[in-house]
Amino acid sequence: MIGTSNDSSQDLFGLMSRLYPLCRSITGDGVRQTLKILQEYIPIEIREVATGTQVFDWTVPKEWNIRDAYIKNPEGRKIVDFQACNLHVVSYSAPIRKKVSLEILKAHCFTLPQHPQWVPYRTSYYKEDWGFCLSHQQLQELTDGDYEVFIDSSLKEGHLTYGECFLPGSTDDEILISVHVCHPSLANDNLSSMAVASSLYQQLSRLSLRYSYRFLFIPGTIGSITWLSQNESRVSRIRHGLVLACVGDAGSITYKRSRRGNAEIDRAAAQVLRDSGAEHRLTDFSPYGYDERQFCSPGFDLAVGCFMRTPHGTFPEYHTSADNLEFLRPESIADSISKCMGIFQLLEQNKTYINLNPKCEPQLGRRGLYSSIGGQTDGKIRELAMLWVLNLSDGTHNLLDIAEKSHLDFGLIHDAASNLSAHDLLKEV
Amino acid sequence: MIGTSNDSSQDLFGLMSRLYPLCRSITGDGVRQTLKILQEYIPIEIREVATGTQVFDWTVPKEWNIRDAYIKNPEGRKIVDFQACNLHVVSYSAPIRKKVSLEILKAHCFTLPQHPQWVPYRTSYYKEDWGFCLSHQQLQELTDGDYEVFIDSSLKEGHLTYGECFLPGSTDDEILISVHVCHPSLANDNLSSMAVASSLYQQLSRLSLRYSYRFLFIPGTIGSITWLSQNESRVSRIRHGLVLACVGDAGSITYKRSRRGNAEIDRAAAQVLRDSGAEHRLTDFSPYGYDERQFCSPGFDLAVGCFMRTPHGTFPEYHTSADNLEFLRPESIADSISKCMGIFQLLEQNKTYINLNPKCEPQLGRRGLYSSIGGQTDGKIRELAMLWVLNLSDGTHNLLDIAEKSHLDFGLIHDAASNLSAHDLLKEV
Amino acid sequence: MIGTSNDSSQDLFGLMSRLYPLCRSITGDGVRQTLKILQEYIPIEIREVATGTQVFDWTVPKEWNIRDAYIKNPEGRKIVDFQACNLHVVSYSAPIRKKVSLEILKAHCFTLPQHPQWVPYRTSYYKEDWGFCLSHQQLQELTDGDYEVFIDSSLKEGHLTYGECFLPGSTDDEILISVHVCHPSLANDNLSSMAVASSLYQQLSRLSLRYSYRFLFIPGTIGSITWLSQNESRVSRIRHGLVLACVGDAGSITYKRSRRGNAEIDRAAAQVLRDSGAEHRLTDFSPYGYDERQFCSPGFDLAVGCFMRTPHGTFPEYHTSADNLEFLRPESIADSISKCMGIFQLLEQNKTYINLNPKCEPQLGRRGLYSSIGGQTDGKIRELAMLWVLNLSDGTHNLLDIAEKSHLDFGLIHDAASNLSAHDLLKEV
**pLDDT tens sequence across C55-66:** 999 999 999 999
User: Are residues A393 and B224, on separate chains, in Cβ contact within 8 Å?
Assistant: no
Residue B366 with chain C: CB contacts under 8 Å: 126
C-contacting residues in A 241-280 (Cβ below 8 Å):
259
Residues 6+ apart with CB under 8 A from B10: none
Q: Tell me, what's the pLDDT at A213?
A: 98
**pLDDT tens sequence across B130-152:** 999 999 999 999 999 999 999 99
Give the chain A residue whose CA is nearest to the CA of C354.
A298
Q: Is the pLDDT of residue C24 over 90?
A: yes
Q: Tell me, what's the pLDDT at C402?
A: 98
What is the rounded distance in angstroms from the CA atom of residue C2 to the CA atom of residue A296? 53
Within 10 angstroms of residue A279's Cβ, the number of other Cβ atoms is: 9
What is the rounded distance in angstroms from the CA atom of residue C245 to the CA atom of residue C255? 11
Q: Is the pLDDT of residue A375 over 50?
A: no
If we measure between CA atoms, which residue out of A305, A187, A183, A340 comes closest to residue A249?
Answer: A187
Does A407 reach chain B within 8 Å, measured CB to CB?
Answer: no
- The DSSP code sequence of A367-409 is GTTTTTS-SHHHHHHHHHHHHHHHHH-EEEEEHHHHHHHHT--
The Cα-based distances of A43 to A38, A52, A206, A217, A333 in angstroms read: 8, 28, 14, 12, 21
- Are β-strands A253-256 and A280-283 bridged in parallel, bridged antiparallel, or unpaired? parallel
Q: Is the pLDDT of residue B2 over 50?
A: no
What is the rounded distance in angstroms from the CA atom of residue A363 to the CA atom of residue B56? 9
HSE-up of B221 (CA within 13 Å, CB side)?
18
Query: Containing H/E element for A303?
Result: none
What is the rounded distance in angstroms from the CA atom of residue C60 to the CA atom of residue C230? 12
**pLDDT tens sequence across B258-273:** 999 999 999 999 999 9
User: Are residues B361 and C221, on separate chains, in Cβ contact within 8 Å?
Assistant: yes
Please compute the mean of the pLDDT values over residues C24-52 and round it to a whole number. Answer: 98
Of B360, B384, B388, the CB nearest to C297: B360
Q: Is the pLDDT of residue A291 over 50?
A: yes
Band of pLDDT at residue A370, cut at 50, 70 and 90: confident
**pLDDT tens sequence across C346-374:** 999 999 999 999 999 999 988 988 754 44
Within 10 angstroms of residue A417's Cβ, the number of other Cβ atoms is: 26
User: Are residues C365 and A296, on separate chains, in Cβ contact within 8 Å?
Assistant: no
What is the ipTM score, two decimals? 0.94
Of A126, A127, A228, the CB nearest to C360: A228
Rounded to a whole number of angstroms, the distance from the CA of C126 to the nearest CA of chain B is: 8
Cβ burial B143-162 (10 Å sphere, 16+ → b, else e): eeeebbbebebebeebbbbb
Please compute the mean of the pLDDT values over residues C141-146 and round it to a whole number. Answer: 96
What is the rounded distance in angstroms from the CA atom of residue B129 to the CA atom of residue B89? 11
Angle among Cα C5, C11, C13 to the nearest 5 degrees reads 145
Residue A370 with chain B: CB contacts under 8 Å: none
Give the chain A residue whose CA is nearest to the CA of C371.
A127
What is the rounded distance in angstroms from the CA atom of residue B167 to the CA atom of residue B144? 59
Please compute the mean of the pLDDT values over residues A317-344 and round it to a whole number. Answer: 98
Residue A128 with chain C: CB contacts under 8 Å: none
Rounded to a whole number of angstroms, the distance from the CA of B41 to the nearest CA of chain A is: 30
Band of pLDDT at residue B6, cut at 50, 70 and 90: very low
Rounded to a whole number of angstroms, the distance from the CA of C374 to the nearest CA of chain A is: 18
Of A359, A365, A406, the CB nearest to B299: A359
Contact B71, B60 (CB under 8 A): no
Band of pLDDT at residue A288, cut at 50, 70 and 90: very high
Number of B–C residue contacts, CB under 8 Å: 64
Rounded to a whole number of angstroms, the distance from the CA of C426 to the nearest CA of chain A is: 13
Q: Is the pLDDT of residue C7 over 50?
A: no
Of B55, B225, B288, the CB nearest to A387: B288
Q: What's the DSSP call for residue B132?
A: E
Q: Is the pLDDT of residue B396 over 50?
A: yes
The Cα-based distances of C203 to B408, C17, C171, C207, C341 in angstroms read: 42, 21, 19, 7, 8
3-state secondary structure (DSSP) of residue B276: helix
The model's pTM is 0.94
What is the rounded distance in angstroms from the CA atom of residue A209 to the CA atom of residue A344? 10
Query: Containing H/E element for A155?
Result: strand A146-156
Of B360, B392, B394, the CB nearest to C57: B360
Residue B12, amino acid:
L
Interface residue of A54, A55, A56, A57 to substitute, partner C, most C CBs within 10 Å: A57
User: Are residues C228 and B390, on separate chains, in Cβ contact within 8 Å?
Assistant: no
C-contacting residues in A 83-142 (Cβ below 8 Å):
126-127
Rounded to a whole number of angstroms, the distance from the CA of C358 to the nearest CA of chain A is: 4
If we measure between CA atoms, which residue out of B241, B248, B239 comes closest to residue B293?
Answer: B241
- Give the whole-number percent of chain C exceeding pLDDT 70: 96
User: Are residues A287 and C359, on separate chains, in Cβ contact within 8 Å?
Assistant: no
Number of A–C residue contacts, CB under 8 Å: 65
Rounded to a whole number of angstroms, the distance from the CA of C112 to the nearest CA of chain B is: 16
What is the rounded distance in angstroms from the CA atom of residue C97 to the CA atom of residue A149? 106
What is the rounded distance in angstroms from the CA atom of residue A186 to the CA atom of residue A180? 12
Q: Is the pLDDT of residue B7 over 70?
A: no
Q: Tell me, what's the pLDDT at B74?
A: 96
Does A376 reach chain B within 8 Å, measured CB to CB?
Answer: no
- The DSSP code sequence of B362-405 is --TGGGTTTTTS-SHHHHHHHHHHHHHHHHH-EEEEEHHHHHHH
Does C283 reach chain A within 8 Å, measured CB to CB?
Answer: no
Q: Is the pLDDT of residue B4 over 80?
A: no
Interface residue of A221, A262, A297 to substitute, partner C, most C CBs within 10 Å: A297
B-contacting residues in C 322-361 (Cβ below 8 Å):
none
Please compute the mean of the pLDDT values over residues A19-27 and round it to a whole number. Answer: 98
Band of pLDDT at residue B3, cut at 50, 70 and 90: very low
Residue B298 with chain A: CB contacts under 8 Å: 355, 358, 390-394
Within 10 angstroms of residue A136's Cβ, the number of other Cβ atoms is: 19
If we measure between CA atoms, which residue out of C4, C40, C2, C1 comes closest to residue C19?
Answer: C40
Q: Please name the chains neighbouring C, where neighbouring means 3+ C-beta pairs under 8 angstroms.
A: A, B
Does A385 reach chain B within 8 Å, measured CB to CB?
Answer: no
User: Are residues B297 and A365, on separate chains, in Cβ contact within 8 Å?
Assistant: no
Residues 6+ apart with CB under 8 A from C262: none
**pLDDT tens sequence across C226-260:** 999 999 999 999 999 999 999 999 999 999 999 99
User: Are residues B301 and A394, on separate chains, in Cβ contact within 8 Å?
Assistant: yes
Give bridge partners of residue B71 from the DSSP assignment: B80, B149
3-state secondary structure (DSSP) of residue B347: helix
Please compute the mean of the pLDDT values over residues A95-113 and round it to a whole number. Answer: 97
- Give the whole-number percent of chain A exceeding pLDDT 90: 93
User: Are residues A294 and C360, on separate chains, in Cβ contact within 8 Å?
Assistant: yes
How large is the angle between the packed helices B192-205 and B29-38, nearest 10 degrees?
30
**pLDDT tens sequence across B327-342:** 999 999 999 999 999 9
Interface residue of C231, C286, C296 to substitute, partner B, most B CBs within 10 Å: C286
If we measure between CA atoms, which residue out of A213, A252, A173, A166 comes closest to residue A341?
Answer: A213
Interface residue of A352, A357, A359, A423 to substitute, partner B, most B CBs within 10 Å: A359
User: Are residues C297 and B387, on separate chains, in Cβ contact within 8 Å?
Assistant: no
